[in-house]
Amino acid sequence: MKPINEMEVSFLSRSSNEAFGRAAVAAFAAQLDPTLDELCDIKTAVSEAVTNCIVHAYKNTIGKIYISCKIYSGGRISVKIRDRGCGIEDIGQAMQPLFTTSGDERAGLGFAVMENFMDSLRVASKPGRGTSVTMQKIIKRRENENG
């Protein structure tokens, strides 16, 4: 299915850019007229994915984070966040709640949060080559409140 609109953005994996990534996706998603809850869900999931790139993919270094968004008919938005970092050795293990490679300061809930706030989540990774996280959400069409 061909998207009806799309956008791409990239930025360095600095923690100060996490808010930018979240805001860029939220601004793009706004054209679907989401509820505040739907928009917060998308922003939270994007924050988790971008933070994973910063903390895990490019640990102790700076690399690029790439975000692409596509909107399809029926109110479906697809958000893909990818990096060219260290990759994930065992995706199944990494997606388990409470699993983390960053020691005690991280909760290890990033993928669980993404799964909970979005309608679908797909993770692909190659050690040494990077990781790609694709999330989708259906924005439900609201009835006109004036009639």
Residues 2-13 pLDDT 10s: 999 999 999 999
Residue positions annotated with a catalytic role: 48, 52, 106
Q: Is residue 71 part of a domain?
A: yes
Q: Is residue 147 part of a domain?
A: no
- Bigger pLDDT: 43 or 143? 43
pLDDT at 105 over 70: no
Q: What is the pLDDT of residue 147?
A: 42
Residue 121 lies in domain = 5-138
Are 136 and 76 within 8 A, CB to CB? yes
Are 80 and 68 within 8 A, CB to CB? yes
* pTM of the predicted model as reported, rounded to 2 decimal places: 0.86
What's the chain's average pLDDT?
A: 88
Q: Is residue 10 part of a domain?
A: yes
Q: Is residue 120 part of a domain?
A: yes
Q: Please tell me the total count of domains within the chain.
A: 1
pLDDT at 128 over 70: yes
Q: Is residue 57 part of a domain?
A: yes
CA distance 14 to 121: 24
Are 6 and 69 within 8 A, CB to CB? yes
Q: Is residue 65 part of a domain?
A: yes
